[in-house]
Amino acid sequence: MSMLQLHLWSSLLAAALILSVLALPKGTARHRLAGRVAVGVWALAALSSFGLPAFGTLTPIHALTLLTLVMLPLGIRYARQGRIAAHRGTMLATAGGLLTAGVFATVIPGRYLYGALFG
């Protein structure tokens, strides 16, 4: 599997898992387990972005990667501290970053997804 495939599939899986976490009743064992798996796959998606040859260098999208790698542990910390509102806000904002990165990766000419979708 290429780095691009790893990144694409882990990003899509992370998005699906995030949706499942949002759909599950909060605070349950299932929510926590799904959240742990989602965070692991999410981190894999973020880390794999550094192996992509995006225009030969790091791009502004990689700033979202760095932010994600800071926010995921912070969101977990908030949950463990019982700061649920902070946990929810952090994780939702970080999920918004995943969505934003996906949109920009899709609409910027020269990017793989742009070419795959729009020729």
The string of pLDDT tens digits covering residues 44-56 is 999 998 887 665 5
* Contact predicate 53/40, CB 8 Å: no
Mean pLDDT of the chain: 89
- This prediction has a pTM of 0.85
Average pLDDT over residues 58-82: 90
Average pLDDT over residues 54-83: 86
More confident residue, 84 or 58: 84
Rounded Cα distance, 52 and 58, in Å: 9
Is pLDDT of 5 > 80? yes
pLDDT of residue 55: 54
* Contact predicate 102/94, CB 8 Å: no
| Confidence at 116, pLDDT banded by 50, 70, 90 | confident
**Contact residues for 12 (Cβ-Cβ < 8 A; gap 6+):** none
Tokens 């699906």 locate to 16
pLDDT of residue 56: 59
Average pLDDT over residues 55-67: 76
Q: What are the tokens at 46?
A: 């973020």
**Contact residues for 117 (Cβ-Cβ < 8 A; gap 6+):** 106
* Contact predicate 95/89, CB 8 Å: no
- Which amino acid makes up residue 7? H
Where do the H-state alpha helices sit in 49-111?
61-80, 84-107
